[in-house]
Amino acid sequence: MNQVYTEVSIDPRGVATLKLNRPEVHNAFDDAMIAELIAVLKDLANNDSVRVLVLTANGKNFSAGADLNWMRSMAQKDYQQNLNDAAELATLMHRLDKFPKPTIALVKGAAFGGALGLVACCDIAIAEENASFCLSEVRIGLIPAVISPYVMRAIGERESRRYFLTAERFMAPTAKKLGLLHEVVSEGELSDSLESFVNTLLQNSPAALTAAKSLIHNIYNRKISNNVIAHTEQAIAEIRVSPEGQEGLTAFLEKRKPAWLGKEDA
């Protein structure tokens, strides 16, 4: 695949780093960048060597959100064309949200508009303390529609009522209090925090991590019904009899390291 707007690397541990790469426009995204991100995420999701995905960006800012020239062009198009365009962004958010391996967002600088959707779709989000965030859409007559399910899930309805309507700019410590971020670090400490999370994740069963993500997606915000209870019963039974489930239980009982850690970690 000929990548223009992103950079991808995979280290020997299976940690894939996906970088937004339009620093000259603060990593604002347009239709071409969205299409490339969708394709890259599909490739990485199907790559069995990938165990963790890190989403970050080149340049000073994570992302300024939608590209102004792209938005200007969409204003000249009809409803169906805008609907098709929104569907592409929705596909990107859904694909990142349902990525089968653990995902970590690393944020520095500004993360505005749709960029908050990318952060909210990741399992873990870390930002430098001087990073800033803004749901700026209403300032230009728009709304944060496509990203709203993911952002609202992260920060809740009450805080969404405030920040969707005011378009206030808020800093990383506030974003952490709201639930958008998990960790806030000093400038220059993103790498150390990332490594801590990556090392922790790599201790865990890859198959169990994927199953745990699926469990969350299937159970969260559902009424505890007979169907939900049955799903949890099936989920634990399936993982117990799976190869990694068997290996993990056996390794625990035998007081040894499980096979997924590899010889270098044993």
Could you give the domains of the chain?
Answer: 6-201 (3.90.226.10), 205-265 (1.10.12.10)
The token pair that represents 254 in the structure block: 């035998």
Q: What is the pLDDT of residue 1?
A: 65
β strands within 15-151, DSSP E: 15-20, 52-57, 103-107, 110-112, 124-128, 132-134
pTM of the model as a whole: 0.94
Average pLDDT over residues 53-81: 91
Is pLDDT above 80 for 265? Answer: no
Average pLDDT over residues 77-85: 91
pLDDT tier at 28, thresholds 50, 70, 90: very high
Q: What is the pLDDT of residue 199?
A: 96
pLDDT tens digits, residue range 36-47? 999 999 999 999
Burial track 206-242 (b if 16+ CB lie within 10 A, e otherwise)? bbbbbbbbebeeeeeeeeeeeeeeeeeeebeeebeee
DSSP states of 17-73 as a string? EEEE--GGGTT-B-HHHHHHHHHHHHHHHT-TT--EEEEEESSS-SB-SB-HHHHHH
262 compared with 226, residue with greater pLDDT: 226
Report the percentage of the chain scoring pLDDT > 70. Answer: 98
pLDDT tens digits, residue range 145-165? 999 999 999 999 999 999 999
Q: What is the pLDDT of residue 264?
A: 47
* Radius of gyration of the chain measured on its C-alpha atoms: 20
pLDDT tens digits, residue range 245-259? 899 889 988 899 999
For all residues of the chain together, what is the average pLDDT? Answer: 94
Q: What is the pLDDT of residue 266?
A: 44
Is pLDDT above 70 for 83? Answer: yes
